[in-house]
Every structure is written in structure tokens, then in C-alpha cells.
Amino acid sequence: MGFDFNISPGGGSPIFRQIVDQVRLGIVTRRLAAGDQLPSVRVLAERLLVNPNTIAKAYGELAREGVIDARQGRGVFIAPLRQMYTKPERIRRLSPLIDAMVNEALSLGFSPGELIESVEQRLAKLNVQSASQRKTS
């Protein structure tokens, strides 16, 4: 399996959240594709030196969101990409995150233009095109 998990036990985010976020990021950056197999709970827990319940919690959340499929006796696989939420629901879920980011950036003294540039740079680093870039491509 070519995908490596990198966790930071003393980081500001719980380990299960780091695993969930890394799987999601792996999918959007195309390092993980539908059908790719993830390590079993036991194998990943041993590899990361964490409690298996932590891995099970992360995998449980990913399964509830439709990101992974757990196949009894066969393993855990990345699910085919499917849209689970309507656009209004996606906007509702994203809005508090955007508000927090914008408020933090403005409190740090960034201008709106610098904030937009920073987001575009991050998307470029992740190899994800913005809507304006897709329209011109």
C-alpha cells in the first residue's frame, strides 16, 4: 500500500481526526483512488503505535460519510466518489470553517487579497484547481 499516514501525537488535533483528514486529503490530491485498499485496523494501529480503537473510530467516521467501504473479511477500501450532500448542505457545513479562517486571517493583518492569494497557493500545492482556473482551462 503506497499511502503513508503521518500522525503527530502531541499535535493540536486528535489522532483519529488526523487519520480522517489524511484520507480525505489523499483522495482530493489523487494519492488515493476508488478501490485502493487501506490497512486493517490492527495493522494501522501497530504501524502508528496507537490504540486500535482510535483507528476504528477514524474508519467508522469515514464509513459513515461514505468515504470508505469496509468489506467483511476482505478489508477497507476507498469508496467510489459520490456526492452525499446537497449544495446548500455543503455550504452550510463549510461556512463556519470559512468564517473562522477569514476571521483569523484578518486578525493576523492579512488583506482580503492576501487571503485569496494564500488559499490559491494552498490549492496549487495540493494540485487542486480553483473554479476560476477551471473556467479558463
**Cell numbers found for residue 103:** 476571521
Do 128 and 97 sit in the same domain of this protein?
Answer: yes
* Residues 109, 66: Cα–Cα separation, whole Å: 39
Do 63 and 107 sit in the same domain of this protein?
Answer: no
Do 70 and 93 sit in the same domain of this protein?
Answer: no
Q: Is residue 116 part of a domain?
A: yes
Cell 503506497 locates to: 2
Check if the beta carbon of residue 100 is closer than 8 Å to that of residue 106.
no
Domain that holds residue 112: 87-136
| Residue 65 belongs to domain with CATH number | 1.10.10.10
Q: Is residue 23 part of a domain?
A: yes
Tens place of pLDDT for every residue, the chain, 137 residues? 468 898 988 878 999 999 999 999 999 888 999 999 999 999 999 999 999 999 999 999 999 989 999 888 899 999 998 777 788 988 998 999 999 999 999 999 999 999 999 999 988 887 765 444 444 44
Overall pTM > 0.75: no
Do 36 and 66 sit in the same domain of this protein?
Answer: yes
Structurally, the chain folds into a number of domains equal to 2
Q: Is residue 3 part of a domain?
A: no
